[in-house]
Amino acid sequence: MSSYLRNAWWCLILGVLVCHKIYVSHSKARGERKEKVHLQEALAPKKQQQRAQTSSRGAGRWRKNILLLGILGGVSFSVWWFWDTNEEIIMKRRETLANMCDERARVLQDQFNVSLNHVHALSILVSTFHHGKIPSAIDQVMFFSYC
């Protein structure tokens, strides 16, 4: 959940900065246009045609700013989506790895128990056929097999 808040916060900051830049550039362009309009009215009617071109240029700037805002929004959303998806994938992989390690530990424990049972069985056999026998029952089997 904290990753969602962090990503939302960064997107909000980025959006505020971009909107502020657009607003400042639009305000400066509006102030420049007002000054030009006053100069054009004073000079000649021929300048009215240029005023129309200036307003269309301003509209073009505004469209470019909207396009830039859309591109930045799309890129920031894509980066946020990648980070979020990547974090989920990493968490799932860690869980899978932990489960695999637990399963391997259980298998090794079972193998160790089987080996320990074999050692106990061999020790019982040795104690049954060797200890307290003179000659050892094991030696007797070897002696008769050579004859």
pLDDT digits (tens, 9 = 90+) for 91-133: 999 999 999 999 999 999 999 999 999 999 988 888 777 666 6
Position 28 scores a pLDDT of 66
Spatial distance between the Cα atoms of 37 and 48, rounded to a whole number of angstroms: 9
Q: How far is it, in rounded angstroms, from Cα 61 to Cα 36?
A: 17
Comparing CA positions, the residue from 129, 110, 18, 121 lying closest to residue 69 is 18
Q: What is the mean pLDDT of the chain?
A: 76
Q: Long-range contact list for 16-23, CB < 8 A, 24+ apart?
A: 18/68, 18/69, 18/72, 19/69, 22/65, 22/68, 22/69
Angle between helix 137-146 and helix 47-129 axes, rounded to 10 deg: 80
Note the pLDDT of residue 105. Answer: 96
Q: Over pLDDT 70: what percentage of the chain?
A: 60
Which are the contacts of 48, defined by CB distance < 8 A and separation ≥ 6?
40
